[in-house]
Chain A
Amino acid sequence: MLTLLPEATRQLGVPRAVYSSQKIGSPVGRPHQREEHIDTLKTCLKVVDKLEKGMIYHTSSQTYG
């Protein structure tokens, strides 16, 4: 899951999540910024096999928590 609300996501018990600091309503990026959208997807896919149960990857700090 791509999340904008990491604490709520943690409470819900989401198995794998990536936290992006985009605003609510545009989780993948800004309108018509296709490279940005692709980068967001690539980040999610890059960490999918590194995330452990319940873990959230923070894109800004590139840390797992």
Chain B
Amino acid sequence: MKHRSSVPVSKGLRFTSRMVRGLQRTFPRLYAKVAKHEGRKWGDSSIPWTPVKKPVTESRVALITTGGIILKTQEPFNLNDPKGDSSYREIPGDASGEDLVVSHLFYDHTEVEVDTEIMFPLQALHTLQAKGEIGEVARRHFSFNGGISDPTLLIERHAPDVAQQLVADQVDLALLTPA
């Protein structure tokens, strides 16, 4: 079964998407340099910091991904947004792999379509809870679409929204998996 959300995208974006994925696959060092440049542009010299307050075995853990993972029933990300869609989707803690699809343009998600766990390891997290290696899986998790060329809205609105929801859910640790 393919875990993929089909959304029509413009020819221009399809071309850009192919270029980016080709760069990742064929010239990974060059891609890493481009990513570093982008990081320098949007990075902040002040690093946020929250001390770890509990042992991992007592912690409530949430997942955050930029891999464009969504529920089949959710509206796909707007892949035609020229700035990149910086909105997010809430994924319930009891979602199964069969509930999830990928909605993203800027990485090769051939393998994620086969197994969403490689981007969003929710079942693995449940296994760690069952083994007593974490305290608890959070009741909800969050997914963003990557490939955001202008993260202003992400920084000013959507990321703070998610942070507030994690605080409200008394999440102790959040693990971000990237695309």
- Tally of A-B Cβ pairs under 8 angstroms: 125
Given A3-B178, A8-B35, A11-B36, answer yes or no on A25-B124 (Cβ-Cβ < 8 Å).
no
Q: Tell me whether A12 and B43 are in contact (CB under 8 A).
A: yes
User: Which residues of chain B come closer than 8 Å to A29, judged between CB atoms?
Assistant: 118
Given A25-B111, A25-B179, A26-B111, answer yes or no on A11-B125 (Cβ-Cβ < 8 Å).
no
Contact of B127 among A10, A34, A45 (CB under 8 A): A34
B134 at the interface (CB under 8 A from A): yes
Given A11-B36, A25-B109, A54-B47, answer yes or no on A1-B178 (Cβ-Cβ < 8 Å).
yes
How many residues of chain B have a CB within 8 Å of chain A? 47
User: Which residues of chain A come closer than 8 Å to B24, judged between CB atoms?
Assistant: 24-25
Interface residues of B, Cβ cutoff 8 Å to A: 24, 28, 31-32, 35-36, 38-40, 42-50, 52, 56, 61, 67, 107-112, 114-115, 117-119, 121, 123-125, 127-128, 133-134, 173, 175-179
